[in-house]
Amino acid sequence: MTILVTGATGNIGRRVVDRLIDAGQRVRAMTRDPRSARLPTEVEVVYGDFRLPQTWPSALAGVDRVYLFPAAYPAPGPGTGFTDKAMQAGTHRFVVHSAAAAGFEPGDDPEDRSLTALQRHLAEERQAHRGLELMVEATGAGWTHLRPGLLAANTLAWAKRIRTERVVREPNGAAGYPLVHEDDIAEIAVTALLTDSHVGATYTITGPARISQVEQVRAISVATGQRIDFEELSEERAREQWLRDGCPADYLDWRIELLAASLDGPGPLPATDTFQRITGRPPQTFARWAFDHVDDFRAATT
């Protein structure tokens, strides 16, 4: 059996690849840059780009199961999308990397200008991720939808500032969500790829509990054994910093609103018990995640 992992160089994809290799599976990994992919030697690394349908046949040839990264796949006509091509190549199982937003009520129209920036963003996310899920369901293959909440790996955006200045500057330090370890998503993904027990299931998976930004920084500090300060920014200063850091201008409002929404409640992404129900174990904590990522955050010693 050949399993294709798309998004194989991403946060979750790398863990999926590692776990499949550990399970003795034949793995093909798709990437736009095989030379810099740094994947295990056992993996067949192939060039493929979601935006270039002519690259799909070599990635999909003889593939039985696919771990499907969320992307906009062009489909010039009926039966020509990535999932259609996978089916034509013999695929009969998809495990979909989706997002918690796919489970939101379909009420909001992203074009409605009376919505808040956060409501609009979540409606767009819902549309995109639910759209991918529906595309997979339409194939008639077996599927499992994995909908992660916010990934702990999002805090890697702090890594450079932590390494160089030992500080994190953000607004609303008390805000936070139940961040999920990418390895927990990968664990469920691999179980869903290798067994029949999760066909037709949709799982919203989060970390164990809400953790504030201040607590996240403290956990990284403990893991790295280095003092790291949290400096609270005003919303205005945060917008300036995020823009300087390369954040698209149309992300600023919803990012501020997303943090503010979790100050006196769970906000739109509450903790779920899905991982515990499936595995019988609690999901990994942010503290555990920080220990797994010390090399990303620890300043090089001179």
Interaction site with ligand NAP (CB under 6 A): 7-11, 13, 31-33, 37, 49-51, 69-71, 99, 148, 150-151, 154
* Residue 302: CB minimum distance to ligand NAP, A: 30
Of the pair 33, 165, the CB lying nearest ligand NAP is at: 33
Looking at this protein, which amino acid is placed at residue 157?
A
Q: Which is nearer to ligand NAP, 33 or 245 (CB)?
A: 33
Nearest approach in angstroms of CB 265 to ligand NAP is 19
Q: Closest CB to ligand NAP among 33 and 236?
A: 33
Task: Supply 42's token pair.
Answer: 């056992």
Confirm if 66 and 95 have CB atoms less than 8 A apart.
Answer: yes
Looking at beta carbons only, is 152 or 278 nearer to ligand NAP?
152
Q: Which is closer to ligand NAP, CB of 29 or CB of 238?
A: 29
* Minimum CB–partner distance for residue 41 and ligand NAP (Å): 17
Calculate the CA 75 to chain-centre distance.
24
Q: Are 194 and 155 in contact (CB under 8 A)?
A: no
Q: Rounded CA gap, 50 and 47, in Å? A: 10
Least CB distance to ligand NAP at residue 180 (A): 8
Burial class for 296, CB neighbours closer than 10 Å (0-12, 13-18, 19+): middle
Q: Which residue is it, tokens 């917008």?
A: 239
Task: State in angstroms the smallest separation of the CB of 125 from ligand NAP.
Answer: 6
Least distance to ligand NAP, CB of residue 185, Å? 9
In the bound state with ligand NAP, the residue whose beta carbon lies nearer, of 131 and 166, is 131
